[in-house]
Amino acid sequence: MFKNAIVRRPAPSMVEGITSAPHLGQPDYLLALRQHDAYIKALEGCGVAVKVLEAAPDYPDSCFVEDVAVLTPSCALITNPGAPTRQGEVAMIVDCIKGFYPEEKIGRIDSPGTLEGGDVMMVGNHFYIGQSARTNAAGARQMLDFLLGYGYSGSTAALSKILHLKTGLSYLENDTLLITGEFVGQPDFAAFRQIIVPPEEAYAANCIWVNGKVIVPAGFPDTARAIALAGYEIVLVDTSEFRKLDGGLSCLSLRF
């Protein structure tokens, strides 16, 4: 169960955030703020206390706070994002993390290692780490070494077509995985009960399980139905403006 979540308010500069989908247009900042409000309410409705960090206008992608830290029940890791324009976001999260974890339980990913939290999926005591354009082998190695010290295990999974591991995978607890694209059919994930997200709804493969409920992006009815049929209470949140920056539901918070 999660007790806490951390989010960062989007800044007006978000319209200059990194995107692989310029055809979706620039985000509407005011609409993004309203969607962010609804996202916070949805998290609170799942029973977590939400710590809201103020916007950081110097960093257009800083509302995607998931990428700068990995938080576990016993330790925290400050990452080193692979996107150069995002590396400065790390310094801004440290004080907040120190409010929740003692200093000796906070690790760091150091250059030349890079790692973004979107590439990390926690399944019980095991961590899957995506090796992507943002997370390199050295970053994954550092993370595995750190986690081993706390009794966790980990493994890497290569990805080539999508931004982050959790762009195409979400763990919904109960041995259940929401899965799409290049991960479908991969032996690493074959043992899970799988909810396969069709290519036309691929964005909805990024959902978040929060204390028994699953927050699902609005506008993907087949995926929402499949998750509900699997026995989950679903909560819809519209993230259209964050999608324009390749961001999904998990990217917008750290849950722990």
Contact set with ligand CIR (CB under 6 A): 17-19, 61, 64, 66-67, 83, 86, 118, 163-164, 167, 245-248, 250-251
* Minimum distance from residue 24 beta carbon to ligand CIR (Å): 12
Q: Which is nearer to ligand CIR, 113 or 168 (CB)?
A: 168
**Are the beta carbons of 16 and 26 closer than 8 angstroms?**
no
* Nearest residue to ligand CIR, by Cβ distance, number only: 118
Structure tokens at 175: 């041995």
SS3 at position 229: helix
Question: DSSP letter at 218?
Answer: T
CA 248 – CA 229 distance, rounded (Å): 22
Q: Which two tokens stand for residue 63?
A: 């509302």
Question: Residue 112: is the preceding peptide bond cis (ω within 30°)?
Answer: yes
What is the Cα 154 distance to its own chain's centre? 17
Q: How far is the CB of 241 from ligand CIR (least distance, A)?
A: 12
∠ CA 255-138-187 to the nearest 5 degrees?
Answer: 70
CB of 103 to ligand CIR, least distance (A): 25
Q: Which is nearer to ligand CIR, 14 or 227 (CB)?
A: 14
Residue 40, classed as helix, strand or coil, is helix
Task: Give the span between the Cα atoms of 46 and 42, in whole angstroms.
Answer: 6
Looking at the Cβ atoms of 107 and 118, the one nearer to ligand CIR is: 118
- 3-class SS at 54? coil
Q: Return the active site residues.
A: 164, 251
Contact 238, 34 (CB under 8 A): no
- DSSP H/E element including 95: helix 89-98
CB of 242 to ligand CIR, least distance (A): 8
| Cβ-based nearer residue to ligand CIR, 84 or 187 | 84
Residue closer to ligand CIR by CB (options 81, 107) is 81
Q: Nearest distance from residue 207's CB to ligand CIR, in Å?
A: 12
